[in-house]
């Protein structure tokens, strides 16, 4: 007995105050001063343990500091790389917190499971338990103990590192993380796998035996399996790859149940699928399996997750996905060789079954993407990594891969390279076809898979010394690595000629069922001229050089606008009768330039100088605008009737902005009409005109018990997902996001919103949307649940004359002058994406009810978050009037021939509108082509956010018709950000 005590003493993990790591059992890259690095790691891990929570955001994404530091240490990173990693990640973490008046004890420890605010309390509790019982005993008791606690259904993140490096504090953190995680895997019946042993013999003496094995076996020997046959066959049941094949053929699992990992409830829905569990149960392993069988099935699982991650193909993007969440399957598999030797033999099959079920569930949840194994394994270029010094690639790329992984600033890159290195080193002798089965391409799998995965991620190429790397910091996105097997989306779409694009526009004009084919066709000539001059700075390319065949048409900009706004566009239009604000009658000319003392002086010298300056500045602005990038995000649901008009307008606006500068993301879900079928047609048409587009469709609908606002936020974030994917995978940034509902806009509506967004340097810019009110038989303003005046009051569901409560705002609204508001959405919103990129990223979300926040609309909340992030310059543009159906659109944009019967207006025969004298030009009902007033181009003098905002809330799931919580005056956070200060300059100055 004394001998056993001595062994246990020697192998016990580090004391509570000691976080210095032991030697890694997976891989140890040669390093310099190993002792000094271990001391630094211990210091940083101790600091993280004392200060930081296990989750760094509200979506419960994990604090990866521990994982990253230890992975860097095992790969031989120097002290600077280790310290820099901590300094970079520590400021983004949440404080550890804790509930001061509550102590977690052995009697009440199950009372707080799943509650993140009790993380610190669980840390204290598990320290006491490990001090009393030891780490292995605590893992067996609390993870694999009473199945009613569902600890196995939660997460075993973290404590694998503690076992590997023999650090008690990390095991404590891992157990605490497990306790505060949600039990999202309960439908996979993992806890039911826990059964009482058939006899006590299996566990008797287990403690002695495992410690005689020195706790953790060497991976170089103990985990190299003996392959006795050419093809793997399990003793019972089916192999993992055979089950993957059956799941791939299951028709009811075709449509992904969710496409982003925003909520853990969505993960549960996948696990609840009635077809899934019977298939998962075909993966069998006996409870009394010997060590050789455990090794064989562990190897199978490590191969399985590597294949799933490497070969999953995204059909929508036309490339291998390298999915962010599937990547975590690979990095978590590295702990199987660490955990299995340490736990009771009867628990080993339970752990392996739990891992298998979880991995398959995540793969299905991420869309059950096709595994293109053949395409992956037949690609010879993966075996070498070229660089500037050796274009043909080094003979052994692992040297370069491991060196760069030790320097890489992103924790996921370091972790996955470390795992793949272990896989290659341990299973590098596996023969071709060992896992061959019905799954297509499985007969080609060989030991090069782990190296292929490293190379195809292009980690070394994109992360050389000093290079920027992709950052995975959570949020609603599903980021991916740049893949060497597909061309960048920035150049993957061939650029058609203008003539080819015009042919597509003509086709679209025959498909549109509503107004967009005619909405600017009958516009008065002065308005068209104003449009040319006003929006010419938005041109995303130089028309004079983009297509020289069109030079015969004269000025390229005029030629482009002539097609998009049909009619007789003579560049020298007659402006007789038009009087601008200065009293000039020949023309309304607009200079587009930055205001400087020199340009102001030139303006005062005379018309000639002003005209020359305008021409020069206009060319300069066009050249500048070619660098602007526009991201369209569109949510659709039963939108069959509006899709043709929506896409037609978007195509024409993209022609102005430059197709190469535009990316379109459409997310449709739950439609019961033919929306999905029509989107397939417009996907092809979009690509034919050179627009990069991703259209994602899903059968997902809102469940009866799913909070409406949470659901809507998830749907909107799904449309925004490619914004982060393009940033993370290709380094492409956008400076304007156009978020569109299923409305019917004209091309000049969108251009005006974009123009005002840049003119005002606005965080959010929106128009005004209308629906028909049957009781009063006329359109009324619609989105009053979101829209709030700058004084905090709500706008009214009322006709044009009564929308704003504040007389000053109402006066501006009636004159179509842009208005600063506290919040708005109104069918189309133009967003400055800076808060969407910066940490902590702004996202659509539901209210933080636990903090007393009013359960407002997700669009109201994102406006609040823009204010809190310092981007509270929110503007409403009354000129842009939007409708959701053709009936309303015809009323709010009447033909000129109908003006005499609306409000008793009488036209002055034959003369064009005068924006200063014509009363109809300031009225709600039209015309759409009213001339621009000077006031519409002035910069708004921004005000501070109001102290209180009128809020209607939703009390939870159920009601779809409107807010059902009594309205309140909700105090704003009143942060120190002044909206008068421009934080992200996207604008340009305009002077008449």
Pairing, β 736-740 against β 630-636: parallel
Calculate mean pLDDT across residues 253-259: 49
| pLDDT score recorded for residue 956 | 56
pLDDT digit string, tens, across residues 689-720: 788 999 998 888 876 667 888 889 999 999 99
Cα(828)–Cα(751) distance, integer angstroms = 12
Cα(645)–Cα(516) distance, integer angstroms = 6
* Closest by CA position to 746, among listed 980, 976, 517, 447: 517
Q: Which uninterrupted H or E stretch holds 283? A: none
Cα(39)–Cα(82) distance, integer angstroms = 11
* Sign of the CA dihedral running 165, 169, 174, 177: negative
pLDDT band of residue 827 (cuts 50, 70, 90) is very high
Cα(873)–Cα(495) distance, integer angstroms = 36
pLDDT band of residue 502 (cuts 50, 70, 90) is low
Three-state DSSP state, 348: helix
Examine the pLDDT at 722 and tell me if it is beyond 90.
Answer: yes
pLDDT band of residue 229 (cuts 50, 70, 90) is low
Calculate mean pLDDT across residues 930-957: 84
Cα(716)–Cα(857) distance, integer angstroms = 12
CA distances from 952 to 570, 861, 959, 960, 964 (A): 51, 12, 13, 14, 8
pLDDT band of residue 949 (cuts 50, 70, 90) is very high
| pLDDT score recorded for residue 284 | 93
Contact in structure between 755 and 747 (CB atoms under 8 Å): no
Examine the pLDDT at 630 and tell me if it is beyond 60.
Answer: yes
| pLDDT score recorded for residue 473 | 32
Cα(922)–Cα(936) distance, integer angstroms = 12
Q: Match 């590098």 to its residue by tokens.
A: 428
Examine the pLDDT at 786 and tell me if it is beyond 70.
Answer: yes
Looking at per-residue pLDDT, the higher value among 848 and 152 belongs to 848
Examine the pLDDT at 667 and tell me if it is beyond 90.
Answer: yes
Reported pTM? 0.52
Q: How many CB atoms lie within 10 A of CB 669?
A: 22
Map 691-755 to HEC letters.
Answer: CEEEEEEECCCCCCCCCHHHHHHHHHHHHHHHHHHHHHHHCCCCCEEEEECCCCCCHHHHHHHHH
The angle at the Cα of 777, spanning 774 to 780, to the nearest 5 degrees, equals 80
Q: How many CB atoms lie within 10 A of CB 921?
A: 19
Q: DSSP states of 591-621 as a string?
A: EES---HHHHHHHHH-HHHHHHHHHHHHHHH
pLDDT digit string, tens, across residues 167-182: 888 899 989 988 888 7
| pLDDT score recorded for residue 300 | 94
Contact in structure between 665 and 631 (CB atoms under 8 Å): yes
Q: Match 């896989």 to its residue by tokens.
A: 423
Cα(159)–Cα(372) distance, integer angstroms = 34
Calculate mean pLDDT across residues 12-31: 59
| pLDDT score recorded for residue 959 | 47
Q: What is the DSSP letter of 971?
A: E
Return the half-sphere exposure (C-beta side, CA atoms, 13 A cut-off) of residue 210: 22
Contact in structure between 397 and 451 (CB atoms under 8 Å): yes
Three-state DSSP state, 794: strand
pLDDT digit string, tens, across residues 547-588: 444 444 444 444 455 555 544 444 444 333 333 333 333 333
| Phi, then psi, of 754 in degrees rounded to 5 | -65, -45
Share the mean pLDDT of the chain.
74
Asked if the bond preceding 279 is cis, omega within 30° of 0, the reply is no
| pLDDT score recorded for residue 610 | 38
Cα(622)–Cα(625) distance, integer angstroms = 5
Q: Which uninterrupted H or E stretch holds 313? A: strand 312-314
Looking at per-residue pLDDT, the higher value among 486 and 241 belongs to 241
Contact in structure between 578 and 568 (CB atoms under 8 Å): no
Calculate mean pLDDT across residues 604-618: 40
| pLDDT score recorded for residue 308 | 93
Cα(593)–Cα(603) distance, integer angstroms = 12
Three-state DSSP state, 905: coil
Q: Match 């660098």 to its residue by tokens.
A: 627
pLDDT band of residue 504 (cuts 50, 70, 90) is low
Take residue 986 and report the two structure tokens written for it.
């996207």
| pLDDT score recorded for residue 570 | 47
pLDDT band of residue 268 (cuts 50, 70, 90) is low
Considering the chain, what percentage of its residues have pLDDT values greater than 90? 20
* Sign of the CA dihedral running 913, 917, 918, 923: positive
Lowest mean pLDDT among 364-368, 412-416, 924-928: 924-928
Q: How many CB atoms lie within 10 A of CB 381?
A: 13
Q: What is the DSSP letter of 436?
A: -
Cα(898)–Cα(903) distance, integer angstroms = 11
* Separate counts of helices (H) and strands (E) for the chain: 36, 17
- Please state the domain extents for the chain: 2-183, 222-463, 498-623, 625-991
Lowest mean pLDDT among 236-245, 390-399, 732-741, 750-759: 390-399
Looking at per-residue pLDDT, the higher value among 963 and 859 belongs to 859
Cα(604)–Cα(397) distance, integer angstroms = 67
pLDDT band of residue 433 (cuts 50, 70, 90) is confident
Contact in structure between 334 and 26 (CB atoms under 8 Å): yes
Lowest mean pLDDT among 34-48, 135-149, 333-347: 135-149
> Which residues, other chains included, contact 907 with Cβ-Cβ below 8 Å and sequence gap of 6+?
896, 899, 900
> Which residues, other chains included, contact 487 with Cβ-Cβ below 8 Å and sequence gap of 6+?
none
pLDDT band of residue 976 (cuts 50, 70, 90) is low
Examine the pLDDT at 6 and tell me if it is beyond 60.
Answer: no
Cα(492)–Cα(250) distance, integer angstroms = 32
Take residue 588 and report the two structure tokens written for it.
């309304």
Strand partners, 712: none
Examine the pLDDT at 835 and tell me if it is beyond 70.
Answer: yes
Three-state DSSP state, 897: helix
Q: Match 């499971």 to its residue by tokens.
A: 113
CATH number for the domain running over 625-991: 3.90.550.10
Cβ-defined contacts of 128-132 (< 8 Å, 24+): 130/168, 130/171, 130/172, 131/16
* Closest by CA position to 931, among listed 529, 417, 403, 539: 529
Contact in structure between 726 and 645 (CB atoms under 8 Å): no
pLDDT band of residue 605 (cuts 50, 70, 90) is very low
Contact in structure between 215 and 342 (CB atoms under 8 Å): yes
Q: DSSP states of 621-653 as a string?
A: HHHHHTT--EEEEEEESS-TTTHHHHHHHHHHH
* Closest by CA position to 637, among listed 222, 980, 960, 974: 960
| pLDDT score recorded for residue 389 | 46
Take residue 884 and report the two structure tokens written for it.
């959701």
Pairing, β 591-592 against β 662-669: unpaired
Looking at per-residue pLDDT, the higher value among 391 and 277 belongs to 277
| pLDDT score recorded for residue 832 | 95
Take residue 71 and report the two structure tokens written for it.
């992975």
* Closest by CA position to 941, among listed 972, 982, 992, 991: 982
Examine the pLDDT at 310 and tell me if it is beyond 70.
Answer: yes
Contact in structure between 671 and 638 (CB atoms under 8 Å): yes
Cα(173)–Cα(651) distance, integer angstroms = 53
| pLDDT score recorded for residue 498 | 61
Give residue 439's Cα distance to chain centre.
32
Examine the pLDDT at 375 and tell me if it is beyond 50.
Answer: yes
Cα(127)–Cα(176) distance, integer angstroms = 10
Contact in structure between 783 and 827 (CB atoms under 8 Å): yes
Give residue 591's Cα distance to chain centre.
39
Give residue 941's Cα distance to chain centre.
33
Calculate mean pLDDT across residues 767-790: 91
pLDDT band of residue 602 (cuts 50, 70, 90) is very low
Specify the length of the chain in residues. 992
pLDDT digit string, tens, across residues 866-884: 998 889 999 999 999 999 8
| pLDDT score recorded for residue 11 | 38
């Amino acid at each position: 007995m004394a001998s056993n005590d001595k062994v246990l003493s020697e192998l016990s993990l580090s004391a509570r105050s000691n976080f210095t790591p032991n030697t890694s059992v997976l891989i140890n890259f040669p390093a310099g001063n190993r002792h000094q690095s271990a001391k630094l790691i211990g210091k940083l891990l101790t600091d993280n343990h004392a200060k930081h929570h296990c989750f760094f955001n509200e979506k419960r994404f994990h604090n990866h500091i521990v994982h990253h530091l230890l992975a860097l240490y095992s790969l031989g990173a120097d002290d600077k790389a280790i310290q820099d990693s901590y300094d970079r990640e520590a400021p983004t973490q949440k404080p550890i917190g804790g509930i001061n008046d509550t102590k977690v004890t052995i009697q009440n420890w199950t009372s707080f499971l799943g509650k993140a605010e009790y993380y610190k309390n669980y840390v204290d509790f598990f320290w006491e338990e490990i001090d009393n019982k030891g780490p292995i005993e605590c893992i067996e008791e609390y993870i694999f103990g009473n199945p009613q606690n569902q600890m196995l259904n939660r997460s075993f993140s973290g404590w694998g590192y503690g076992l590997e490096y023999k650090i008690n504090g990390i095991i404590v953190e891992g157990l605490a993380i497990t306790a505060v995680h949600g039990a999202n895997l309960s439908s996979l019946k993992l806890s039911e796998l826990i059964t009482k042993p058939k006899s006590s013999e299996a566990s008797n003496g287990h403690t002695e035996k495992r410690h005689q094995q020195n706790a953790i076996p060497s991976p170089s020997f103990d985990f190299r399996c003996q392959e006795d046959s050419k093809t793997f066959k399990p003793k019972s049941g089916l192999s993992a790859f055979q089950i993957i094949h059956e799941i791939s053929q299951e028709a009811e699992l075709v449509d992904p149940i969710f496409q982003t990992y925003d909520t853990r409830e969505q993960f549960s829905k996948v696990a609840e699928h009635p077809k899934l569990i019977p298939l998962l149960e075909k993966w069998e392993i006996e409870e009394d399996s010997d060590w050789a069988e455990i090794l064989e099935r562990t190897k199978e699982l490590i191969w399985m997750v590597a294949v799933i991650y490497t070969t999953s193909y995204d059909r929508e993007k036309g490339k291998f996905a390298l999915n962010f969440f599937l990547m975590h399957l690979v990095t978590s598999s590295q702990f199987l060789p660490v955990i299995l030797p340490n736990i009771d033999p009867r628990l080993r099959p339970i752990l392996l079954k739990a891992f298998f079920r979880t991995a398959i569930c995540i793969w299905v949840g991420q869309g059950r993407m096709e595994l293109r194994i053949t395409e992956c394994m037949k690609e010879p270029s993966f075996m070498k990594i070229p660089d500037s010094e050796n274009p043909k690639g080094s003979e052994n790329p692992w040297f370069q891969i491991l060196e760069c992984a030790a320097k890489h600033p992103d924790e996921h890159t370091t972790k996955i390279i470390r795992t793949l290195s272990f896989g290659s080193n341990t299973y590098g002798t596996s023969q071709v076809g060992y896992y061959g089965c019905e799954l297509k391409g499985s007969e080609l799998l060989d030991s090069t898979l782990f190296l292929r995965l490293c190379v195809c991620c292009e980690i070394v190429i994109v992360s050389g010394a000093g290079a920027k790397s992709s950052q995975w910091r959570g949020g609603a996105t599903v980021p991916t690595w740049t893949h060497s097997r597909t061309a960048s989306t920035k150049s993957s779409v061939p650029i058609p000629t203008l003539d080819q694009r015009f042919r597509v526009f003509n086709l679209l004009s025959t498909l549109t069922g509503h107004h967009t084919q005619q909405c600017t066709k009958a516009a008065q000539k002065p308005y068209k001229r104003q449009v040319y001059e006003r929006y010419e700075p938005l041109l995303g390319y130089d028309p004079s050089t983009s297509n020289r065949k069109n030079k015969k048409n004269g000025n390229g900009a005029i030629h482009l606008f002539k097609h998009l706004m049909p009619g007789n566009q003579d560049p020298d239009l007659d402006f007789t009768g038009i009087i601008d604000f200065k009293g000039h009658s020949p023309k309304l000319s607009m200079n587009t330039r930055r205001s400087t003392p020199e340009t102001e002086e030139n303006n005062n010298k005379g018309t000639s100088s002003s005209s020359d300056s305008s021409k020069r500045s206009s060319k300069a602005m066009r050249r500048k605008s070619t660098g602007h990038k526009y991201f369209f995000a569109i949510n659709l649901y039963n939108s069959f009737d509006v899709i043709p008009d929506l896409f037609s307008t978007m195509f024409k606006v993209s022609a102005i902005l430059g197709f190469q500068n535009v990316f379109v993301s459409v997310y449709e879900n739950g439609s019961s009409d033919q929306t999905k079928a029509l989107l397939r047609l417009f996907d092809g048409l979009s690509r034919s005109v050179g627009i990069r587009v991703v259209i994602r469709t899903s059968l997902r609908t809102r469940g009866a018990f799913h909070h409406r606002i949470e659901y809507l936020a998830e749907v909107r974030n799904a449309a925004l997902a490619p914004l982060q994917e393009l940033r993370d995978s290709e380094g492409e940034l956008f400076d304007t996001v156009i978020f569109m509902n299923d409305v019917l806009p004209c091309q000049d509506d969108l251009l005006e919103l974009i123009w005002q967004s840049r003119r005002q340097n606005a965080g959010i810019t929106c128009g005004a949307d209308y629906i028909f009110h049957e009781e009063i038989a006329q359109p009324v303003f619609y989105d009053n649940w979101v829209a709030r005046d700058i004084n905090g009051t709500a706008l009214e569901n009322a006709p044009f004359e009564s929308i704003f409560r504040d007389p000053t705002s109402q006066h501006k609204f009636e004159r179509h002058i842009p208005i600063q508001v506290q919040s708005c959405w109104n069918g189309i919103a133009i967003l400055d994406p800076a808060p969407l990129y910066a940490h902590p990223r702004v996202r659509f979300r539901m209210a933080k009810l636990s903090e007393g926040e009013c359960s407002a609309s997700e669009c109201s909340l994102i406006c609040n978050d823009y204010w809190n992030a310092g981007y509270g310059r929110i503007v409403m543009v009354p000129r842009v009037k939007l409708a959701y159906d053709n009936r309303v659109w015809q009323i709010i944009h009447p033909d000129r021939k109908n003006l005499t019967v609306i409000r008793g207006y009488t036209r002055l025969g034959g003369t064009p509108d005068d924006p200063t004298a014509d009363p109809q030009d300031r009225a709600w009902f039209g015309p759409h082509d009213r001339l621009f007033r000077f006031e519409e181009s002035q910069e708004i003098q921004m005000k501070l956010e109001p102290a209180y905002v009128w809020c209607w809330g939703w009390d939870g799931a159920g009601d779809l018709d409107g807010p059902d919580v009594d309205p309140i005056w909700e105090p704003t956070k009143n942060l120190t950000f002044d909206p008068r200060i421009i934080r992200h300059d996207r604008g340009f100055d305009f002077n008449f």
